[in-house]
Homo-oligomer: A and B are copies of this chain.
Amino acid sequence: MEINAGLVKKLRVKSNAGMMDCKKALLESKGDLDKAEKILREKGLAVASKKASRAAKEGLIESYIHPGSRIGVLVEVNCETDFVAKNEMFKSFVHDIALQIAASAPLYISSDDIPGEVIEKEKEIYKNQALNEGKPEKIVDKIAEGKIKKFYEENVLLEQLFVKDNDIKIRDLLVQNIAKIGENMVIRRFTRYILGEES
């Protein structure tokens, strides 16, 4: 059996074990990564990975706690170099993103992140709403499309209006900063807590 070099590399990163040990474990597990990691640990050749956590990108982790400490946000924004991560303009951009999330409670970063069934369910509700309001059937689809657009503007971070400048969307703020700083940036993930909310 041929063991793929990429798989060996993955196992090395996960296990911190040597290359030959990883190869042998993968042969034994017939290419099953989890099983191979288990084999290495059982042989004492690897330690338990607490969590795969190797830094792959540069950037910043930032938080924002709203006064009163009942709303809090944690956000990661990536850039390409450590140099830019230390740049004041980048720092201020990341801070604005944390503030935006606290204030506007997005559910998703990009509209691509919304599961298809969520959109379908929303569309169906909007259509039936329009029908129940006595709207003619031929314009019901159009009404639903308009409401979906509004759903994006409310729930998708990149489509939200920037709380500090209602003339631009967060997407525009991102693009402006990419242009000014001259490096690609990605709003990677966020977590937003409200005190006592059901999760």
Chain A interface residues (CB < 8 Å from chain B): 38, 41-44, 48, 50-65, 69-74, 76, 78, 85, 105, 107, 121-122, 125, 128-129, 132-133, 151, 154-155, 189, 191, 193-199
| CB-contact partner of A62 in B72, B105, B199, under 8 A | B72
Which partner residue on chain B sits nearest A50 by CB separation? B105
Return chain B residues, CB-CB under 8 Å to A78.
195-196
What's the dominant secondary structure at chain A's contact region? mixed
Count of this chain's copies in the oligomeric assembly: 2
Which partner residue on chain B sits nearest A85 by CB separation? B69
Which partner residue on chain B sits nearest A34 by CB separation? B121
With A61-B71, A65-B63, A69-B61: A52-B197 Cβ-Cβ less than 8 Å: yes
CB–CB B132/A43 < 8 A:
yes
- How far, in whole Å, are A196 and B57 apart by their CA atoms in the complex? 5
Which partner residue on chain B sits nearest A63 by CB separation? B63
CB–CB A129/B57 < 8 A:
no
With A41-B129, A74-B63: A55-B197 Cβ-Cβ less than 8 Å: yes
| CB-contact partner of A48 in B43, B69, B132, B151, under 8 A | B151
- Sorted nearest first, the 6 A-B pairs with minimum C-beta distance are A63-B63, A61-B72, A55-B196, A42-B128, A74-B74, A53-B197
